Structure 1
């Protein structure tokens, strides 16, 4: 795909090139990964200012996102990437592979520092989700701090660097400038900008900002921090649609394949009528989401990949509310089991209270069924900018009405609509139909017939 950057993406890339250590505070949907990769490509291949580049990221982002972005854009396809993941032996092998970019998950930062020691040779380091280094006592922060003097360039990426307040900012900025702007120690930072609040003896549990502390902190880091909000750069009110491809494990993939064959092969020589297609499609979409009802109405688990992807999205939202649409009861049960903070929109007066609480940012994770979230619900007053479709549906009307709960008149923030799509499943067909506005019985039937022919061919 040809890369046609927005103005803000060009600006972000320019700032990376101009600034040896920089924090890009870009909200989701603004394309911070491709902006960063474009800068890395220039630094490595045009300016010759970077030789060995390390990207530190959450595990599933390290496994998939950076490599996928390189494959996606024409101007980046020549970049070589090595994933420093898996067992220690696999990680060591990946480190010895000749590449332009090495990607490691943040849990293995301590191992990498120990492995390389004084032979640390990454001159450029990208910390994807910089806010995951906000704890100055964590092992990952202390490890990276030890080798920071050996880095020429550091690029920190995050949407919200301080979701719990500016008290969390010091470790993240220290990894950029080694204490030049906010002080060499967290104690000095606290003394300069905060006042002890709640405490138990000598242990302070809560800090309060001094007067004008926020302004002074922002001024201190303004030359190395680029803050971009979607609402400032995109036409208001914009909506960014993203397909999040979910990859199952080999074991789960095999189970899904077997269940799909068992379900579809009996219809290989039969005419599939609309009612049958609807039932089959429903089963396939259930399996794509990770579970399916058996003949006794028990739930057979297939995979947890979508739960894992949702966890990453919630973490990336950094404390901002997230709205999730589900279509199957077992999806609702599994989501609430994984995320106890989730709330379901109730009916009647209780529902009105839920709407009030949501619009006042008192609900961190709201779960909605598209049929119950249609006309009449005003949910756009919260600070939610992330809408997730956990289960995929065929109804264009339900899809549009559900998304319009937050993306509507009165909304002052950009909205990112994410669809969790299990790779090589019926999810892909349903989303394709929505994108082409070709929903309905005919599209559903054709998709099911195509799946039957595919399974028939694989089984031949």
Structure 2
């Protein structure tokens, strides 16, 4: 296919060529991959500026997306790739294969760094989904930091650079510039631009920006980061978001409240920490979906109300393909059993993607973490159903963008099945407010703790 770039794509390609360190904050569907590959081709064969490029990407993207982009466009046909994936033996063999671009999944970054150390062979590194390096405590960040001095050019790509706030920016920008713009340490960055927000004694859960800090941060990184929103450049399809409320049966509601109360009272006399809050929130989300793992790891059935609502939505789709997002393993198992006659398909392989896009899959089941970055599913359908919600705004947005993106010819309908008077409602509100930080989760749990403390008689 002949490549005729949009003007913003041509601008972004030149941005990469002109800068030794750069980041493209391009929203989903704006063609980050082809834009970057075009820059790589020019840097390699027109400017003779780079010779070996490493692309770090989520596993599914690493295994298919970049190769598909090269195969798709005529002007990229000369690029040779080697996928450093699979077993250690397969990865080593791939490293010694002659290629222009070597593609590795982010989970193996530490392995790669330990293998080469100061003999780092890649003069250009592209981090596809730079936001996956947003934690300064993560091993992948620490590993890449070690070899950063040996990298001539570094490009970061993401549509969501700060899904939980600007506090997430420091590690990502540090990998680009070694601390030139936002400081050498995360502590210094926080002290300069933030104030403690929500805390529990000495433990700080969230930070708020100082007055004028947002503008100051953007100004400091503006020479190496360019941000573009899809709505400003693309004709995105219309999107409709629906809330499908379900009432829990009396017995299920009682079970939910009992389990909620027991879980909450077990931590009510102690400080609500992130660990306990996350465990509690996950348990309550499971119950809202209809089942929960007990302490022995066995699945305890609670209700089928969401399955009934799903049946109605599928029937209303009148034969149109439906993409269903689930949250837990037992959700997946129950969905597969319940929908057996409709022949649902799990999103697992590249063939599943191809069949879906051909309209051959009536119901595609996917976990949002497996249907995130880089997957093009928009030609296969236009209906999404969230059977179970996620606290992750990044996963939520990325999952929806599989259908709500350029190339979609129909209005995208996104249904959210919400169990009334459960934690579902809090998660939905947090997603709508784009406040899905750890602090929001903890506050949600604290609110329930306060309620149940009030219900417990004094002296008990």
Q: What is the TM-score normalised by the length of structure 1?
A: 0.59
CA deviation digits over 1:153-189, x for unaligned, max 9?
A: 0000001200111011000000000000000000000
Following TM superposition, by how much is the alpha carbon of 1:204 offset from its aligned partner in structure 2, in angstroms?
A: 1.5
Q: Is the 8 A contact 1:29 1:240 kept in 2?
A: no
Following TM superposition, by how much is the alpha carbon of 1:197 offset from its aligned partner in structure 2, in angstroms?
A: 2.0
- For 2:337 and 2:190, the matched residues in 1 are separated by 57
Q: Is the 8 A contact 2:61 2:373 kept in 1?
A: no
Q: SS of the counterpart of 2:403?
A: strand
- For 1:49 and 1:296, the matched residues in 2 are separated by 54
- For 1:173 and 1:134, the matched residues in 2 are separated by 9
Of residues 383, 398, 401, the one that matches 1:325 is: 383
CA deviation digits over 1:167-218, x for unaligned, max 9?
A: 1100000000000000000000001000112223432111111000000000
Following TM superposition, by how much is the alpha carbon of 1:313 offset from its aligned partner in structure 2, in angstroms?
A: 4.5
Correspondence for 1:329: none
Distance change (3 Å), C-alpha of 1:163 and 1:402: closer
Uncovered stretches (5+) of structure 1, i.e. residues with no partner = 242-281, 318-322, 327-331, 343-360, 367-382, 390-395, 406-460
Is 1:30 matched up with 2:30?
yes
Q: What is the TM-score normalised by the length of structure 2?
A: 0.59
Distance change (3 Å), C-alpha of 1:87 and 1:192: same
Q: Is the 8 A contact 2:120 2:150 kept in 1?
A: yes
Correspondence for 1:157: 157
How large is the Cα RMSD of the aligned pairs?
Answer: 4.0
Correspondence for 1:228: 228
Q: Is the 8 A contact 2:237 2:412 kept in 1?
A: no
Distance change (3 Å), C-alpha of 1:87 and 1:211: same
Matches within 5 A, 1:426-441: none
Correspondence for 1:357: none
Correspondence for 2:12: 12
Of residues 236, 239, 256, the one that matches 2:237 is: 239
Matches within 5 A, 1:29-428: 29-234=29-234, 237-239=235-237, 303-305=346-348, 307-308=365-366, 310-314=368-372, 325=383, 336=387, 339-341=388-390, 386=401, 388=403, 400=410
CA deviation digits over 1:9-38, x for unaligned, max 9?
A: 100010100000001000111111101000
- For 2:338 and 2:202, the matched residues in 1 are separated by 61
Following TM superposition, by how much is the alpha carbon of 1:232 offset from its aligned partner in structure 2, in angstroms?
A: 2.1
Distance change (3 Å), C-alpha of 1:52 and 1:299: same
Correspondence for 2:252: none
Q: Is the 8 A contact 1:25 1:226 kept in 2?
A: yes
Uncovered stretches (5+) of structure 2, i.e. residues with no partner = 240-317, 326-331, 349-363, 376-380, 416-460
- For 2:74 and 2:204, the matched residues in 1 are separated by 52
CA deviation digits over 1:293-321, x for unaligned, max 9?
A: 8999668775442545853455689xxxx
Q: How many equivalent residue pairs? A: 307
Distance change (3 Å), C-alpha of 1:194 and 1:77: same
